[in-house]
């Protein structure tokens, strides 16, 4: 198959970056199509850690990397990321769609100001200005990458945006704008110049690659439950981290999508506010959080943790049409005597299998758990798995996996049992 799509099926941080890195080996090109530097994707190669926020994780394997129009780009972050990789000996072969939106410095100010104004009802955003940037795209005042590379066009757009946002930031949010219009022009025009030769029509490039039967890997950011419509609104991100978004975020037909892999963490985590029916607290939570090193890649915040949730995953399956699943972080469950998976909820006395459409209903849901005997996946067992593959998995781990497959009616073809590339099992 030529096109493969990687999608987060929970609240993000499922281990998408690691799986993209594994699949990138046999891909010609890796493409980001939504989100921004709110994403933090980790790739670990022989102990060396790469944290990617805007660049597709395929850069680590020096693959052609594309950022589609659906991504909001903070050019300061992009430059830092490219420079950081260069220091590690990686030259980035990047193409950027000129239609992609630019995160401008006032977007960060608005993101923070809005969170503060929401007080205890805040979303817990990454404060990277992503929401305000997407809002500008929708309200049609956004600055596109194409604008950064033309002095007159940029000056004209900047003049409107600068005075518009200075007014909002200072007079509504009570924030001081520390930068002048001229300073913003100088810095961002210089950044535009630096990236000018990377601008490419990503829609044309991707479609041509697929026409030539090249292998293209599409890398989703965030996760399905953070979808702007279908997630736990308003505690969501501002883009659509679901499979359909790849078509509009790149500029290609839905008919192009062949293999759609849902990445499922073996338990659930969430950063930021919002409902989480299977959430664990205190000691149980501490154990999972520490074993899984569940601290945000982007903001360093402690992630909330809980058991695997099938109503959530049924919704992810319905929205994304996964052709297969990749189960990650199975090793983190090692040593827990009794594992649990929520196979349904009880809502107002009734059993429900599907994730409800609104938070006021989700909040009333009590998870019904199925219990499983635990397994150990320590150094000895992991060595065994690296040598002998899937068949060497502990019987209890196999039962855990096959329950998920049966419930969701999708095969789990990849199992990850460590952050390193080599800690990955695949089967047909």
Catalytic residue, chosen from 21, 41, 343, 394, is 41
When CB distances are held under 5 to 8 angstroms depending on the partner's kind, the choice from ligand IMO, Mg ion, ligand GDP, none that residue 251 binds is: none
Query: Tokens representing 144?
Result: 């596109």
User: Can residue 249 be called a binding residue for Mg ion (CB under 5 A)?
Assistant: no
Which listed residue (66, 206, 226, 280) binds ligand IMO by CB under 6 A? 226
Which listed residue (245, 264, 316, 419) binds ligand GDP by CB under 6 A? 419
When CB distances are held under 5 to 8 angstroms depending on the partner's kind, the choice from Mg ion, ligand GDP, ligand IMO, none that residue 425 binds is: none
Alpha-carbon distance of 11 to 155, in angstroms, equals: 39
Which listed residue (10, 27, 247, 297) binds Mg ion by CB under 5 A? 297
- Nearest to ligand GDP of 254, 389 (CB atom): 389
Contacts of 222 (CB under 8 A, 6+ apart): 8, 12, 34, 35, 38, 39, 237, 239, 241
Known active-site residue 423: no
Residue 370 CB, shortest distance to ligand GDP, in Å, is 22
- Nearest to Mg ion of 11, 195 (CB atom): 11
- Each residue 238-267 as x (binds ligand IMO by CB under 6 A) or -, in order, gives x-----------------------------
Which listed residue (8, 35, 40, 105) binds Mg ion by CB under 5 A? 40
Alpha-carbon distance of 273 to 125, in angstroms, equals: 9
Residue 48's DSSP bridge partners are 45
User: Can residue 20 be called a binding residue for ligand IMO (CB under 6 A)?
Assistant: no
User: Can residue 272 be called a binding residue for ligand IMO (CB under 6 A)?
Assistant: yes
When CB distances are held under 5 to 8 angstroms depending on the partner's kind, the choice from ligand GDP, Mg ion, ligand IMO, none that residue 55 binds is: none
Residue 29 CB, shortest distance to Mg ion, in Å, is 22
When CB distances are held under 5 to 8 angstroms depending on the partner's kind, the choice from ligand GDP, ligand IMO, Mg ion, none that residue 250 binds is: none
Cβ neighbourhood burial of 387 (10 Å; 0-12, 13-18, 19+): exposed
User: Can residue 161 be called a binding residue for ligand IMO (CB under 6 A)?
Assistant: no
Which residues, numbered 111-150, are part of the site for ligand IMO (CB under 6 A)?
123-126, 128, 130-131
* Stretch in the footprint of ligand IMO (CB under 6 A) among 11-19, 88-96, 339-347, 398-406: 11-19
- Nearest to ligand IMO of 69, 238 (CB atom): 238
Whether omega before 357 lies within 30 degrees of 0, making that bond cis, reads no
Separation of CA 422 from chain center: 22
Q: Are strands 64-67 and 3-8 parallel, antiparallel or unpaired?
A: unpaired
Which residues, numbered 33-62, are part of the site for ligand GDP (CB under 6 A)?
40-42, 44
* Stretch in the footprint of ligand IMO (CB under 6 A) among 38-46, 314-322, 324-332, 397-405: 38-46
Q: Total binding residues for ligand GDP by CB under 6 A? A: 21
When CB distances are held under 5 to 8 angstroms depending on the partner's kind, the choice from ligand IMO, ligand GDP, Mg ion, none that residue 107 binds is: none
Residue 229 CB, shortest distance to ligand GDP, in Å, is 21
Known active-site residue 309: no
User: Can residue 417 be called a binding residue for ligand GDP (CB under 6 A)?
Assistant: yes
What is the binding site for ligand GDP (CB under 6 A)?
Answer: 8, 12-18, 40-42, 44, 297, 328-329, 331-332, 416-419
Give catalytic residue positions. 13, 41
Q: Residue numbers of the site for ligand IMO (CB under 6 A)?
A: 8, 11-13, 38-41, 123-126, 128, 130-131, 221-223, 226, 237-238, 271-272, 297
Binding site for Mg ion (CB under 5 A): 13, 40, 297
């Amino acid at each position: 198959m030529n096109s493969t799509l990687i999608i987060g099926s929970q609240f993000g941080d499922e281990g998408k970056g690691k799986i993209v890195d594994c699949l990138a080996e046999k891909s010609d090109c890796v493409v980001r199509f939504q989100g921004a530097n709110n994403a933090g994707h980790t790739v670990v190669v022989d102990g060396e850690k790469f944290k990617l926020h805007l660049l597709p994780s395929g850069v680590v394997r020096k693959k052609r990397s594309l950022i589609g129009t659906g991504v909001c780009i903070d050019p300061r972050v992009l430059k830092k990321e490219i420079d950081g990789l260069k220091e590690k000996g990686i030259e980035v072969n990047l193409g950027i769609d000129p239609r992609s939106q630019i995160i401008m410095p006032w977007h960060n100010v608005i993101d923070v100001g809005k969170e503060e104004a929401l007080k205890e009802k805040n979303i817990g955003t990454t404060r990277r200005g992503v929401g305000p940037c997407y809002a500008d795209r929708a309200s049609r005042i956004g600055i596109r990458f194409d604008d950064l590379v033309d002095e007159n066009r940029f000056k004209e757009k900047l003049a409107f945006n600068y005075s518009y946002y200075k007014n909002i930031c200072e007079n509504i949010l009570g924030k001081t704008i520390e930068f002048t219009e001229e300073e913003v022009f100088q810095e961002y025009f210089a950044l535009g110049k630096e990236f000018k030769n990377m601008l490419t029509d990503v829609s044309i490039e991707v479609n041509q690659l697929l026409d030539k039967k090249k292998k293209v890997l599409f890398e989703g950011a965030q996760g399905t439950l953070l979808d702007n419509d279908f997630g736990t609104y308003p505690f969501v991100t501002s883009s659509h981290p679901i499979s359909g978004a790849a078509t509009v975020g790149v500029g290609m037909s839905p008919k192009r999508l062949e293999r759609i892999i849902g990445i499922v963490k073996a338990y659930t985590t969430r950063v930021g506010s919002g409902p989480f029916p299977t959430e664990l607290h205190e000691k149980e939570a501490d154990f999972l959080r520490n074993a899984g090193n569940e601290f945000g890649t982007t903001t360093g915040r402690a992630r909330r943790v809980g058991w695997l949730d099938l109503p959530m995953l049924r919704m992810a399956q319905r929205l994304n049409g996964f052709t297969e699943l990749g189960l990650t972080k199975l090793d983190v469950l090692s040593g827990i005597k009794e594992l649990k998976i929520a196979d349904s909820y009880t809502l107002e006395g009734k059993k429900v299998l599907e994730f409800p459409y609104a938070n006021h209903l989700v909040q009333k849901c009590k998870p019904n758990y199925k219990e499983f005997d635990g397994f150990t996946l320590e150094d000895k067992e992991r060595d065994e798995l690296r040598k002998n593959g899937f068949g060497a998995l502990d019987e209890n781990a196999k039962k855990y996996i096959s329950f998920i497959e049966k419930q969701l009616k999708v095969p789990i073809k990849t199992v990850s049992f460590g952050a390193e590339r080599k800690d990955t099992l695949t089967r047909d």
